[in-house]
Amino acid sequence: MSKKLKIGVFGFGVVGSGLAHVLKNSKGLDASIVRVCVKDAGKIRDIDPDLITVNPDDILNDPEINVVVELIDDADAAYQIVKTAMQNGKHVVSANKKMLAYHIEELIQLQWKYKVSFLYEASACGSIPIIRNLEEYYDNDLLQSVSGVLNGSSNYILTKIFNENLDYNLALKEAQDLGFAESDPTSDVGGFDTLYKLIILTVHGFGLFVHPDEVFNAGIANLSPKDIELASQKGYKIRLLGKVTKVNGNHVNLFVAPKFVKPQEHAYTVESHYNGVLIQGNFYDNQFMYGKGAGSHPTGSAVLSDITALAYDYKYEYKKLKYYGGLEYTNDMDVEIYLRYTDKNDLALFNFKEISESLIAKDFNYVIGTLNLSELIKIRKQIEGKDIFLAYLGEE
């Protein structure tokens, strides 16, 4: 492709404005934003108003624009934009992890069909170049697991709770005020944002497509002072963890849950809106990557990295998909969990194989025990909306 990049951007919120700022301060890259599509043309933005449009076709059908950068919140609309852009022969950069989690298999096929690049480093872990590393450095079958703190918003909340004894709701509001969490925080605190990122990492780490509905995910919305007190008494912190791991040779498992993190574990040191990713494999042992996972400039910088890569005709090679394959998804594995509950009937829903610790008190009931992850999948609809909190106690 031409080294001169003419960019059409969809969305000019936190990430879009961050991209414009870092692009303006990036020397040596012949790239410029020539059009920005937004919903509200009347809103004041720090960009030339002549570049603004509300008509997607002004970007998608413009032959001069050779790169489309998609930075909107609506996953369904993002899918249509990305798909049409590729069909029109344009290279695409996206940060939309939900859209990718549900459509990544189809979109990979489309980029191959239309011979364009589709890059999305900013969709997972903000400023940490995890996708590129899984593609290029860990491009073999030695990888055993990828885990860590993948959501900066929830991590900011948990840091405030454990470091400053801040109430959950106050910590959430502070995260929202700073732009780390959305006005509707469900995706962040419910573990969905982490889940979507984990699915993307699984494609690049293990060459496996997993539908979000197949994966168990739990969040931190029901975290109570009692959970915090118990974790602190044991010398732990709580972090929202996502983990994909190879089990039993040719199977792969994903899950997302809060975790009781020990001081010697990598996630224990990941604080504020930072992300931390632990990569484990045969022979190279543990490797840890750390960086900002939320915010305008970190995510904007990740988008810029993809745009820069396009100037050199970079494409993901998907080596795991092409050459290694043969892996299957499973939820058949035992996990150790902490379960805090109010109603004893809720406890009966959990088919524990073994209970190692339990407490029944006037205002605090919990058990720590082992059960099969497939059992959690079966009851996840039944436990929605109940006054319970679940956390993982196994290895990170």
Domains of the chain, residue spans: 5-119, 140-292+326-392
| pLDDT above 50: residue 104 | yes
Q: How confident is the model at residue 67 (pLDDT cuts 50, 70, 90)?
A: very high
pLDDT in tens, 344-366: 999 999 999 999 999 999 999 99
- For the chain, what percent of residues have pLDDT higher than 90? 78
Higher pLDDT, 17 or 216: 216
- Is the CA virtual torsion 322, 327, 328, 333 positive or negative? negative
Q: How confident is the model at residue 1 (pLDDT cuts 50, 70, 90)?
A: very low
The one catalytic residue among 197, 237, 259, 320? 197
- Is the CA virtual torsion 156, 162, 165, 169 positive or negative? positive
- Nearby residues of 18 by Cβ (< 8 Å), 6 or more positions away: 295, 296, 297, 298, 299, 300, 301, 303
Q: How confident is the model at residue 10 (pLDDT cuts 50, 70, 90)?
A: very high
Fold of 5-119: Rossmann fold (3.40.50)
- Mean local confidence (pLDDT), 277-302: 85
Q: How confident is the model at residue 183 (pLDDT cuts 50, 70, 90)?
A: confident
Q: How many CA atoms lie within 13 A of 145 on its CB side?
A: 18
Catalytic residue status for 315: no
Higher pLDDT, 182 or 8: 8
Fold of 140-292+326-392: Dihydrodipicolinate Reductase; domain 2 (3.30.360)
- Mean local confidence (pLDDT), 23-46: 87
pLDDT in tens, 192-226: 999 999 999 999 999 999 999 999 999 999 999 99
Give strand ranges (E) for the chain: 5-10, 31-37, 52-53, 67-70, 91-94, 118-119, 143-149, 216-217, 237-247, 251-261, 274-281, 285-292, 328-329, 334-341, 354-360, 365-372, 388-392
- Mean local confidence (pLDDT), 159-184: 92
Average pLDDT, the chain: 93
- Mean local confidence (pLDDT), 259-278: 96
pLDDT in tens, 288-299: 999 987 667 778
Residue 294's pLDDT is 67
| pLDDT above 50: residue 283 | yes
Rounded CA separation 167/160 (Å): 8
Residue 206's pLDDT is 95
